[in-house]
Amino acid sequence: MSTSVGIQRQNRASPTPPPPPPPEGGVLLSIVVPCYNEAENIPLFYAKSCEVLKVLEGQGVSVEFVFIDDGSKDETAKVIQELSEKDERIRYAIFSRNFGKEAAMLAGLQAAKGDFTAMLDADLQHPPSLLPAMLEAVKNGEYDCAGTIRTRTGDSKIRTFFSRAFYRLISKLSNMEIIDGAGDFRLMSRQYVDAILSLSERNRFSKGIFQWIGFRTKWFYYENQQRASGDSKWSFWKLFIYSLDGIIAFSSKLLAIASAIGIILFILSICAVIFIVVRKLIFGDPIQGWASTICVILFCAGVQLLTTGVLGEYLAKTYNEVKRRPHFVIRKQK
């Protein structure tokens, strides 16, 4: 049996020991934290979260932390393990390599045992101070998820422009309203988390998944925070690829657009044939039109390559899905 299959089975079959049971009548809140090269930020994040969570614990809420080390190249794994030795509320999974934030979030949600689960970045860009209000909104059952929307303060104008354009485009293409600035910082009910876990696709695009599963979400707004330390792992190019993956994961309209272009060009080509035949019959066959011929050939070749590319993208995604590889491989966990 291959390692990855074995581990995937473990992932599904509740690999981690159960967290401390909540006190009588209390609830368990899981804090899921995907980490990639966050060795410096984790202690800060942990200290800040503990400070906020102390208040909740005073009100009978038990807390567990689930740190996922997404194959970091720095001391992240070590820092997490050391913390977990000091604090028994901390569990973790360490990936065998970097599988990306989507995989890390999925691993965290699979491991979380809480009645409620919150997901936060390790770099303190997601303020833990919002957690009590978010829990309050979901705990009384009025909402299934407390989502957050960050302002774009401090973002460059060009990045804001492209982000807005992307959200407009994907909302149109997928027929779902994917909200600009709504991120992965959420506090979710058990039912909401189970719904997310029931979507087993490999090409995961959380912003779409949250929207697709539905439920009632209460929105909280917060000011854009700078990273506590280190740099964002998202370059402009990575974000572009991520956006394209998101569109392909949640819409097959690009294929329809490719077909529509094909049909329009076909109709145009019939018109051109009629025009050329009629001109030949009326004026004979003077040799001319080299430039226009080359333009038409280049244009059609370009469109063909583009549509083949679109087809290829969907085919590649389908190929990835049918291989049914696990989303991640865990090297060590507690």
Cβ-based nearer residue to ligand UDP, 89 or 101 = 101
Residue from 8, 16, 29, 36 touching ligand UDP (CB under 6 A): that is 36
Binding of residue 232 to ligand UDP (CB under 6 A): yes
Q: How far apart are CA 149 and CA 286, in angstroms?
A: 65
Cβ contacts of 42 within 8 Å, gap of 6 or more: 33, 35, 67, 76, 79, 80, 83, 122
Cβ contacts of 25 within 8 Å, gap of 6 or more: 60
**Between residue 58 and residue 77, which ones bind ligand UDP under the rule CB under 6 A?**
70
CB of 234 to ligand UDP, least distance (A): 5
Q: Which does 122 bind (CB under 5 to 8 A by kind): Mg ion, ligand UDP, none?
A: ligand UDP
Cβ-based nearer residue to ligand UDP, 125 or 251 = 125
Cβ-based nearer residue to Mg ion, 218 or 227 = 227
Cβ-based nearer residue to ligand UDP, 190 or 233 = 233
DSSP per-residue letters across 97-110 = S---HHHHHHHHHH
Cβ-based nearer residue to ligand UDP, 232 or 320 = 232
Binding of residue 39 to ligand UDP (CB under 6 A): no
Q: Which amino acid is at 111?
A: A
Residue 41's CB: how many other CB atoms inside 10 A? 22
CB of 225 to Mg ion, least distance (A): 9
- Residues 137 and 209 sit within 8 Å (Cβ to Cβ): no
Binding of residue 104 to ligand UDP (CB under 6 A): yes
CB of 230 to Mg ion, least distance (A): 9
Cβ-based nearer residue to ligand UDP, 7 or 122 = 122
Tell me the residue nearest to ligand UDP as measured from the CB: 232
**Between residue 102 and residue 131, which ones bind Mg ion under the rule CB under 5 A?**
121, 123, 125
Cβ-based nearer residue to Mg ion, 35 or 79 = 35
State how beta strands 90-95 and 61-69 pair. Answer: parallel
Stretch that binds ligand UDP, among 11-19, 20-28, 100-108, 153-161 (CB under 6 A): 100-108
Binding of residue 234 to ligand UDP (CB under 6 A): yes
Can you read off the two tokens belonging to residue 52?
A: 């906020």
**Between residue 105 and residue 124, which ones bind ligand UDP under the rule CB under 6 A?**
121-123
Stretch that binds ligand UDP, among 47-55, 139-147, 228-236, 250-258 (CB under 6 A): 228-236
In Å, what is the CA distance from 171 to each residue of 80, 159, 241, 243? Answer: 38, 18, 17, 12
Q: What are phi and psi of 285, to 5 degrees?
A: -130, 65
Binding of residue 208 to ligand UDP (CB under 6 A): no
Q: Which of 143, 205, 138, 146 minimizes the C-alpha distance to 178?
A: 205
- Residues 149 and 219 sit within 8 Å (Cβ to Cβ): yes
**Between residue 266 and residue 285, which ones bind ligand UDP under the rule CB under 6 A?**
none
Cβ-based nearer residue to ligand UDP, 130 or 137 = 130
Q: How far apart are CA 185 and CA 128, in angstroms?
A: 10
Q: Which of 126, 125, 203, 208 minimizes the C-alpha distance to 166?
A: 208
Q: How far apart are CA 47 and CA 62, in angstroms?
A: 17
Which stretches of the chain bind ligand UDP, using CB under 6 A?
34-36, 38, 70, 98, 100-101, 104, 121-123, 125, 232-234
Q: Binding residues for Mg ion, per CB under 5 A?
A: 121, 123, 125
